Amino acid sequence: MTDVTHSIEEEDFGPSPREILKKSILAHRSLLLGFGAIVIIVLAALLAPVLAPHDPYLQDLSIRFTPPVWQDGGSWEHILGTDHLGRDYLSRLLYGARISLTIGIGAVLISGTIGTTLGVCAGYFGGRVDMVVNYLITVRLSMPVVLVALAIVAIFGGSLNIVIMVLGFLLWDRFAVVMRSSTMQVRNMDYVQSAQAVGCSTLRIVLTEIMPNIMNNLIVVATLEMAHAILLEAGLSFLGLGVQPPLPSWGLMVAEGKEMLFFEPWLIMIPGAALFILILSINLMGDGVRDVTAPAGKN
């Protein structure tokens, strides 16, 4: 009788979580699309010095407002044309990707660290700690991000580092809120209690029992906040209070092109489209990560 049952037990174990994840990632088209686009943009940013046909800061007033290659008067020398100072637009766009990504990643690293620390502490310890963190979140939510950012940049002057710091210290609220509620959910699981009963330190419990189980939510929030930060930077730069010229920030490029909106519309359409594609792909990836990781272990 045992030989029959053993053969069943042998086959029993289903696919591992990793195999399931791999399968659902490969089946998720918009996740793959977003991820693919981001890989291309990151590569373009990293390889900008190699890919860029010209120096992005080199001015040549004699060729200013050269239209892109698909319009009358365009040439393959400047595929996306030149701006009001005659700088090569494609080169500026490639270098601009570096700035957008630096700001996105930098701001998320800062805000993610602050928000996750606060949120996990609040969710894990509850009680007083939770009250304090909730108070901090409320205070933060009552501050209008754009106005505060404008004020700080106006006082300290705009630079890449300051923009990253300002955004990093302003965008942690969503991390805190999401991490707090996910920690509360995981905290009540029996495996956390079991780790306590084994004698694990609180830090160990948070790092090895709780964090792996809320990582998916962290990634989703991180992608959304990254898109948020990049958009805010573009907005600040557009208002002249973000990254300062001559740095080729996409927001700055839109601002510089707005004067010629009716005569040379591609000047803002090209950086605008680049921003749109980057934000869209980040959001597609975030949504995809949420879809792929959410139903694990349920049903």
Asked if 9 is part of the footprint of other proteins (rule: CB under 8 A), the reply reads: yes
Asked if 212 is part of the footprint of other proteins (rule: CB under 8 A), the reply reads: yes
Site for other proteins in 12-71 (CB under 8 A): 12-17
CB of 219 to other proteins, least distance (A): 14
C-alpha 87/C-alpha 89 separation (Å) is 6
Asked if 127 is part of the footprint of other proteins (rule: CB under 8 A), the reply reads: no
CA distances from 179 to 239, 292, 299 (A): 33, 19, 24
Q: Which stretch binds other proteins (CB under 8 A): 162-170, 202-210, 230-238, 255-263?
A: 202-210
CB 184 within 8 A of CB 197: no
Asked if 113 is part of the footprint of other proteins (rule: CB under 8 A), the reply reads: no
Provide the 10 A C-beta neighbour count for residue 262. Answer: 6
Number of residues in contact with other proteins under rule CB under 8 A: 31
C-alpha 270/C-alpha 134 separation (Å) is 42
Asked if 292 is part of the footprint of other proteins (rule: CB under 8 A), the reply reads: no
Single-letter amino acid, residue 58: L
Q: Which stretch binds other proteins (CB under 8 A): 5-13, 87-95, 171-179, 239-247?
A: 5-13
C-alpha 257/C-alpha 298 separation (Å) is 51
Among residues 7 and 161, whose Cβ is nearest to other proteins? 7
Asked if 213 is part of the footprint of other proteins (rule: CB under 8 A), the reply reads: yes
Angle 38-105-140 from CA coordinates, rounded to 5°: 125
CB of 123 to other proteins, least distance (A): 17
CB of 206 to other proteins, least distance (A): 13
Q: Among 50, 52, 198, 253, which residue interacts with other proteins (rule: CB under 8 A)?
A: 198
Half-sphere exposure (CA, 13 Å, Cβ side) for 122?
23
Asked if 139 is part of the footprint of other proteins (rule: CB under 8 A), the reply reads: no
Q: Which token pair is 151? A: 């004020």
Measured between alpha carbons, how far apart are the two ends of the chain, in Å? 32
CB of 292 to other proteins, least distance (A): 14
Per DSSP, 163 falls in state H
Residues interacting with other proteins, by CB under 8 A? 1-2, 4-5, 7-9, 12-17, 189-191, 193-200, 204, 208-209, 212-213, 296-297
